[in-house]
Amino acid sequence: MNGINLINSAFSAARSTGRAALIPYLTVGYPDPQTSLSLVEAAANAGADLIELGLPFSDPLADGPTIQRSTQVALQQGITLARCIDFAAQLRKRGLKQPLIMMGYFNPLLSYGIKRFVEDAAGAGVDGFIIPDLPVDEAATMETACRENGRALVYLASPNTPAPRLALLAGRTSGFLYLVSVAGVTGARAGLPPDLQNFVSRARAVAQGPLAVGFGITTPEQAAAVGSLADGVIVGSALINAINAGEHDPAQAVYDFVNSLAMALKKETVF
């Protein structure tokens, strides 16, 4: 199936049951390559609707300390872009069905070759891409490659994105629009920003597809609150923290935490 259609189907399936889609983020190769495969499978089995695969990079500008550390550990173990593509292929061979979205930075993709990267990733079963440091104004080559391969290119918007720019991003994104809940880097936070509801409403007014909120969602209660506003809930740093806390059985730790988020979304509370 076309990757964009698969992503749309995942959001539609969640919506049909009256909840937001759950999108956990896991760094490829963390805490080690073999365990990493089992962690993605645990997240899938625990109720993930889509899965973000973090591509390790030496200078992850949009990521806070938790994800930065996970990417450094992965890089030290020899994880490359080619190995990330193979990782996705292995997941598909092992029967994983959820849409896979690679989240990474532009420089490694440029070195690999944009057209080649998208073609190879699509062949491995990747459905879309999130590239935080690729402005929409400079993304024509990536957009063309994604369009030719039926893959989504997801753009990000933040609370301080001006209205005209927000409309531009909403019109150009595919799959969904990624709403960064705060102006800052990723990381677990004690609470949700007070202006989140207004930000989602502004995006909803110009969006042509699903809205997913990420950055700073830490607890099941926060996930439920965000799920009452948006079509998707993205959780990354808090999941990496759960892996670190459950070092003796990280797969079980992932399953338990993702399942707690999934259960909370089924009972969404009003923000």
Residue 270 counted as domain residue? no
The structure tokens listed for 152 are 């989504």
Residue 96 counted as domain residue? yes
Which string of DSSP letters, residue by residue, matches the chain?
--HHHHHHHHHHHHHHTTSPEEEEEEETTSS-HHHHHHHHHHHHHHT-SSEEEE---S--TT--HHHHHHHHHHHHTT--HHHHHHHHHHHHHTT--S-EEEE--HHHHHHH-HHHHHHHHHHHT--EEE-TT--GGG-HHHHHHHHHHT-EEE-EE-TT--HHHHHHHHHH--S-EEEESSSS-----SS--TTHHHHHHHHHHH-SS-EEEESS--SHHHHHHHHTTSSEEEE-HHHHHHHHHTTTSHHHHHHHHHHHHHHHHHT----
Residue 23 counted as domain residue? yes
Stretch 150-156: mean pLDDT, rounded? 98
Q: Which stretch of 49-63, 74-88, 145-159, 217-231 has the lowest confidence by average pLDDT?
A: 49-63
CATH number, residue 12: 3.20.20.70
* 34 exposure class (CB count in 10 Å sphere: 0-12, 13-18, 19+): exposed
- 1: Cα within 13 Å, side-chain hemisphere: 14
Q: What percent of the chain lies above the pLDDT cut of 90? A: 86
- Range(s) of the domain holding residue 44: 3-265
The structure tokens listed for 11 are 């959001």
Above 60 in pLDDT, residue 80? Answer: yes
Residue 101 carries which side chain, given as an amino acid letter? Answer: I
pLDDT at residue 209 in the model: 96
Q: Which of 218, 213, 184 is nearest to 62 (CA)?
A: 184
Above 90 in pLDDT, residue 200? Answer: yes
Residue 83 carries which side chain, given as an amino acid letter? Answer: R
Above 60 in pLDDT, residue 34? Answer: yes
Above 80 in pLDDT, residue 184? Answer: no
Residue 258 counted as domain residue? yes
Q: Would you say 82 and 204 are in contact if contact means Cβ atoms under 8 Å apart?
A: no
Catalytically active residues, by annotation:
52, 63
pLDDT at residue 269 in the model: 46
Residue 271 counted as domain residue? no
Residue 234 counted as domain residue? yes
Stretch 222-230: mean pLDDT, rounded? 95
Residue 159 counted as domain residue? yes
Stretch 75-101: mean pLDDT, rounded? 97
> What total of structural domains would you count in the chain?
1
Give 100-110 pLDDT, tens digit per residue: 999 999 999 99
Residue 228 counted as domain residue? yes
Above 80 in pLDDT, residue 88? Answer: yes
Give residues with Cβ within 8 angstroms of 74, minimum separation 6.
27, 28, 29, 30, 36, 56
Give residues with Cβ within 8 angstroms of 11, minimum separation 6.
21, 49, 176, 210, 231, 232
